[in-house]
Structure 1
Amino acid sequence: MENIKTRLADLFSKKEWTREEYEWYLELIRVKSPLELQQYFQEDYLASLSKEQAGDLQHAQTLLRLIHQKASIQPEQPTVVQMTARKNRWLVAAAVAGIIMMLGVSYFIITGRNKKAQPVTVTQLPIPEDVMAPQNSRAMITLADGKKVYLDSLNKGQLALQDNVKLVKLATGEIVYRSENGKTINEQRYNTLVNPKGSQVAAITFSDGSKAWLNAGSSLTYPVAFVEKERKVVVSGEVYFEVASSVWEGEKRPFLVQANEVTTEVLGTHFNVNSYNDEPDVKVTLLEGAVRISKHKESKLLKPGEQAQVSSAIKIINDADLDEVMAWMNGHFQFEGASVEEVMRQLSRWYNVEIIYEGKPAEQHFRGGISRNVEVSKVFKMLETTGAVHFKIEGKRIIVIP
């Protein structure tokens, strides 16, 4: 939703909208859930208002009250706040008027540079008590020329043409790089795909036919086309690869994945790389084929079903739990002896929430699974059945209570 926020901010800075901009705005209100709009205005728009726009805050609060009503959320009792005319009050007024029209609610907003301040009844909103699972992909691609392409706002079709390579979005949302037949590509240029926290999984097919899926809170830097002997990409976070075989001057050419200081060398295989900066190890898990794991001067081969855990050295786990490793690709959380901290790191990335601990977490390990498409409160209910830990939701903050 980052591009949506940027476009809304741009629209609200204008005195006049084009018909296309107005229709886009009405369509946004129609397709977005009230809770999503509420979270956007409460967490982003309100926070962006300057002190000089304090009066606009009250109008925005009124907007949130109406969204609450549409979502059948019971607000607290309203209070009366004295407001004065502000230079940019019409900005919020435009947002309020548009959403009110779509909600079918009648409301009057008093504006005017010279009008006397009017007391207006607004609602002091309660902090949301749940967090939705990601509803769409918020992935963004930075092209070689620095241009940013926000994928969730674009329809299917060609998005860009770089060095005779087409960047195409499929109806499924997958991103595909396609080389134009018969045209030579001489220069290796790079794109970066970022899938932020609170985003559904993003999928990409490289120009050589290899594929990758990015978990929330991950990024991937890669060539637009592989024009050198080695195919090399750089990852942060968690990415699953299915690498296609490729020949260079009569020889199979490797596919290299760089994650921090760990290099995974592939000829054609399926494997998962978990390299989040807040995890103690880089973990490479092999499903099919063979890969070589290297860090500095140390190097080891992986067989299918094995996992390399790399910190200062490379440790091989012979019987990795593939169901747990691949749960994110299958739309689930799967915990097999995970600590409280390990569980909360996963939830923080998926739901895009801040985790706060009240005291030291219990020495508890969790086993079980649940869909990643449920509200975060349902995950907590499952975890609280152990009796070892409890949780409190305060908007986008999660309090962990021993």
Structure 2
Amino acid sequence: MAIPNKFRLKYLLDRCLSKQETEQERLELERYFSDQETLDNLGDLLLDSFFQTKELTDMHNERQDQLLQAIYSLEEKELITEKVNYWKWIRFAAIFIAVLGSAIWIGKDNARRTVSMNNTEQHASSKNKPVEEKVKLDRQPAQKTAILEIGSDTRLDLANLDSGQVFEKNGVSVKQTGSGAILVSFANQLPTSAAAKNIVNTVKTPRGGTYKVVLTDGTVVQLNSNSKLTFPSQFATTERRVTFEGEGYFEVAKDKTKMFIVTTVVGNRKQEVKVFGTSFNIMAYADETTIKTTLVEGSVSIKELNSGTEVVMKPNELVELGNTGMVKGIADLQAALSWRNNIFYFSNESIQNVLKQISRWYDIDIIYDNNLAETPVWGQMSRSKKLSEVLEILEKTNQLKFNIKGKEVHVNNK
């Protein structure tokens, strides 16, 4: 068996540690850990996996203790074939994460600066500013909220739907399932009129909002901030077609008789993703230079609508569509899917791209009061932090200064 791609292994370890793995993902990891060639190289893979481009991870002491307790309480499970306890290797990997402090790396002039922030430092720094001022200027992380538009005459704020509540309109039933998700289905009977069949529905997440949608065929779409998913009340007999912009993770329900097609149009960039059942991530924001499609499992084909060029993707591959066409390469699953794990993950990102992600998550406008140097950023931190905490960590590089003015954040070089 070939040694797994390091990004795939990192992804599988992360899924198992967070108890979000599918049965297929668990079986895949078991196969890797039952292979002697993989085990011989496991140490290097884990070290590379958890220390490449980031020396420290963002985790409070309380969370470190919780994770370690969860690790040590895991049941011992041995594989029947090779009798390899792969959980001990997952523990080994998790301890690398749990014992490290809170930090982010920021580099300048080819040098890297480690900025650490533990609980003591956070407490001390908070004393330097009046509590009232911080509360007044601070902003919370993204909330589970979205707007559902049914046809042209109904607009529903999903944040106002109680858990378990059902809303019906034009043959479409929408149920709030809790935890920021809705289940879309047909009401008591399928819509029969041509008008009802052609009703177009749209779910929009604002900046500072996320949401999950379960479509009538069982496909799950998780929307990041500032995203839009448009879908019909009833899929056609031969295909399941939706349109999307923003960022979203698709887990397409398998149906070999109906291809699932995602159309994305951002400026001059136009593409179609065709699948029967698979998992992939699309990032297609208007302020980005490319549309990025990352395949996690299954297979998809991507067609550039302007030229008709079509490429087939395999798991762990990334296709970027820019103004000059499509480019296929190896995906960094940890980076592409970090938003689903509620993490800001930066791997040699420019400070401008970092602030772009922050602006979407906290619904703020970034104002550059002067030209910033091309500063690369490494590291990761929780997306559950308040805006002031995130900016405080970035400020500790001694390179940047932030000033919050309502929904605007002004950025200056120090």
- Counterpart of 1:216 in structure 2 is 225
* Aligned match for 1:269, one of 278, 281, 289: 278
- Asked whether the 8 Å contact 2:148–2:202 carries over to 1, the reply is yes
In structure 2, the partner of 1:258 is 263
The secondary structure found in structure 1 opposite 2:340 is helix
Query: For 2:239 and 2:249, how far apart are their aligned partners in 1?
Result: 19
Q: Describe the shift of the 1:284–1:391 C-alpha distance in structure 2 as closer, same or farther (beyond 3 A).
A: same
Matches within 5 A, 1:4-43: none
- The one-character-per-residue Cα deviations of 1:95-122 (angstroms, maximum 9, x if unpaired) are xxxxxxxxxxxxxxxxxxxxxxxxxxxx
Find the aligned partners of 1:372 and 1:246 in 2 and give their Cα distance: 35
Deviation sequence 1:204-227 (CA, Å, 0-9, x none): 000000010111111111112213
Q: Which amino acid aligns with 1:253?
A: K
- Give the letter aligned to residue 328 of structure 1: W
- Structure 2: gaps spanning 5 or more residues: 1-129
Asked if 1:151 corresponds to 2:158, the answer is yes
Distance 1:168 1:352 in 2: 27
Q: What residue in structure 2 maps to residue 131 of structure 1? A: 139
> 1:300, 1:314 within 8 Å by CA — same for their partners in 2?
no
Q: Is the 8 A contact 1:156 1:173 kept in 2?
A: no
Asked if the contact 1:306/1:316 (under 8 Å) is kept, the reply is no
Query: Does 2:199 correspond to 1:189?
Result: yes
2:336 counterpart residue number: 325
Conserved? CA contact 1:128–1:394, under 8 Å: no
Give the alignment's TM-score, normalised by structure 1: 0.64
Instruction: State the 1:175 CA deviation.
Output: 0.6
Give the corresponding residue for 1:179.
186
Equivalent in the alignment of 1:344: 355
- C-alpha distance in 1, partners of 2:276/2:247? 20
SS in 2 for 1:128: helix
In structure 1, stretches of 5+ residues that fail to align are 1-71, 76-125
* Correspondence for 1:389: 400
Residue 353 and residue 230 in structure 1: after superposition, are their counterparts in 2 closer, same or farther (change >3 A)? same
**Higher Cα Rg, which structure:** 1
Contact 2:359 2:365 in 1 (8 A): yes
- Determine which structure has greater relative contact order: mean sequence separation of CA pairs < 8 Å that are 6+ residues apart, divided by chain length: 2
Provide the residue aligned with 2:104 in structure 1: none
The structural deviation recorded for 1:267 is: 1.4
Cα distance in 1 for residues equivalent to 2:207 and 2:236:
32
Q: Distance in 2 between matches of 1:381 and 1:319?
A: 33
Secondary structure of the residue that 1:166 maps to in structure 2?
Answer: strand
- Cα deviation for residue 179 of structure 1 reads 3.2
CA 1:228–1:397: 2 relative to 1, 3 Å: same
- The Cα shift of 1:314 comes to 3.7
Contact 2:171-2:189 at 8 Å conserved across structures = no
Counterpart of 1:129, as a letter, is L
Structure 2 CA distance for aligned equivalents of residues 292 and 328 of structure 1: 24
**Aligned counterparts of 2:191 and 2:215: Cα–Cα separation in 1:** 17
Residue type at the aligned position of 1:301:
V
Match of 1:399 in 2: 410
Q: CA deviation at 1:165?
A: 3.6
1-structure distance, mates of 2:225, 2:303: 26
Determine whether 1:316 maps to 2:327.
Answer: yes
Contact 1:188 1:227 (C-alpha < 8 Å) held by counterparts: no
Deviation of 1:182 after TM superposition, in Å, equals: 6.9
Matched residue of 1:157: which SS?
coil
Pair 1:245-2:250 in alignment? no
Q: Which residue of the partner structure matches residue 208 of structure 2? A: 198
RMSD of the alignment, in Å?
A: 2.2
SS in 1 for 2:217: coil
Offset at residue 74 of structure 1 (A): 4.1
- Equivalent in 265, 278, 300 of residue 291 of structure 1: 300
Normalising by structure 2, we get a TM-score of 0.62
State whether residues 166 and 178 of structure 1, in contact with CA within 8 Å, keep that contact through their aligned partners in structure 2. Answer: yes
**Whole-Å Cα distance in 2 between the matches of residues 353 and 253 of structure 1?**
40
Which amino acid letter does the alignment assign opposite residue 296 of structure 2? L
Counterpart contact for 2:168–2:187, Cα < 8 Å: no
CA distance in 2 between counterparts of 1:194 and 1:328 reads 17
**CA deviation vs aligned residue, 1:68-106 (integer Å, no higher than 9, x gap):** xxxx9447xxxxxxxxxxxxxxxxxxxxxxxxxxxxxxx
> Percent identity at matched positions?
31
Question: Is it true that 1:368 corresponds to 2:379 in the alignment?
Answer: yes
The aligned counterpart of 1:68 is none
| Cα offset, 1:180, TM superposition | 5.2
1:155-166 mapped onto 2 (5 Å cutoff): 155-166=162-173
Shift of the alpha carbon at 1:319?
2.0
TM-fit CA distance, 1:194: 0.6
SS in 1 for 2:145: coil
Taking the aligned partners of 2:220 and 2:199, their CA distance within structure 1 comes to 18
Greater shift, 154-163 or 360-369, is seen at 154-163
Aligned CA distance change for structure 1 residues 183 and 277 (closer, same or farther; 3 Å): closer
- In the alignment, is the contact (CA less than 8 A) between 1:131 and 1:395 conserved in 2? no
Alpha-carbon offset, residue 303 of structure 1: 1.0
User: 2:324 & 2:237 partners in 1: Cα distance?
Assistant: 30
Post-superposition Cα deviations, 1:32-73, rounded to whole Å, max 9, x if no partner, equal xxxxxxxxxxxxxxxxxxxxxxxxxxxxxxxxxxxxxxxx94
Amino acid at match of 1:220: L
Q: Is the 8 A contact 2:248 2:283 kept in 1?
A: yes
Aligned-residue offset at 1:317:
4.2
- SS class of match (1:318): strand
